[in-house]
Structure 1
Amino acid sequence: MNYYLDVLKKYADFSGRARRQEYWMYTLFQVGAIIIVSILDAVIGTSPWLYALYALGTFLPSLAVGVRRLHDLGKSGWWLLISLVPLVGGIWLLVLLASAGQQQPNQYGPDPKVLAA
């Protein structure tokens, strides 16, 4: 929950770096929240309205944490667009997002693991 709130505090902050743990904990919480919102949509009978509002409200923070995660690897946020390549693009992006970040400072800032310690 703490990582989710940290990402929301940096709502549209595309600068800096995000650790793997921050990205994946946020993603895990997102999946759980989307499941809950989808169930509420079905129970209340609002079709996809609650889901659409939730997705719209969390679009920028999700994009921002993805960009910061790529920055931790020393890559530009534009690498998120590789997921548009059919079949291999999404797999390649998944591999990138799961890779360990650079341990030394890079052009996007210092190593976030050092800052957290």
Structure 2
Amino acid sequence: MKFKFCHNNFNVLDLEKSLEFYEKALGLKEVKRKVADDESFILIYLGDGETTHTLELTWLRDWEKPYNLGDNEFHLALRVEDFDGAYNLHKEMDCICYENKEMGIYFIADPDNYWIEILPMNK
């Protein structure tokens, strides 16, 4: 038996704000959408255009408060060829939430405060 990664899920409060963030900050684009028949939820899958792994954003119509992320000890990680360019973009977007210069990495936070680790291609 062999398992392969499929997707990760983040629940989001403001779907449009999240879609804008993920496209601008990481270049992720919508690859699939599912809207419930009663419109009580929307699932949007974002892809990087190179791998089959996706990020599923879940929007719930009746959810009105920020999600409780606990201690937020989980995160996604993405590699980027132009690390300095990415860093400058994220600095401009004011979404860098943690830097570890010794390790040569940093984290950004999305509109719902999910953390995303940014690594250079060679790490």
TM norm structure 2: 0.27
Normalized per residue, which structure has more strand?
A: 2
Q: Comparing both structures, which one devotes a greater share of its residues to helix?
A: 1
TM-score by length of 1: 0.28
